[in-house]
Amino acid sequence: MTQRQQLIIAVIISVVIGFCVSNGYPVDLEKTKDMFTPIIVKASDEHGVDKSIVRAIIMAESTFNPKARSNRGAKGLMQLMPRTAKALGVKNAFDPEQNVNAGVKYFKQLLTKFDSNLDLALAAYNAGSRNVLRHGGVPDFPATKRYIRKVKKYHKFYEGG
């Protein structure tokens, strides 16, 4: 199977998973365990970030859809904002390899900035590090608190296998 065919299959699976998650249908997370594995492993190893947290962030951000686009302009698997993507040297935020590498690099920067505190790094990834600094911790934003819970739930799942 070519890389293009694998990408097409991954997009189809991620769209179905995204639909299910958005509409409250049960989702078999097992189907996501092997998606984009070589890209995730390479970026995780290169930047020293746990593979299971990377998978959890991708699941929470885009349900593994490399063509995902948010209403705020975030793009790709790790939902990079245009300014962040540009600062990290990303030319095409929808390219899974560029997106994951930059997203993992950025998340590692946040982990370093917040002394490896996972909750603060996740809050900064979701709401921006300025908000985390301004609030002296996880901002009291319902969406950010939900995001942290969701990523940690997925993280627990991906750690198990």
Active site residues: 61
Closest CA to 159 of 51, 75, 61: 51
| Backbone dihedral region for residue 48 (phi beyond 0: left; psi -120 to 50: alpha; all else: beta) | left
The residues facing 159 across adjacent strands are: none
User: Quick one: how many helices (H) and strands (E) in the chain?
Assistant: 8, 0
Calpha distance 71→81 (Å, rounded)? 11
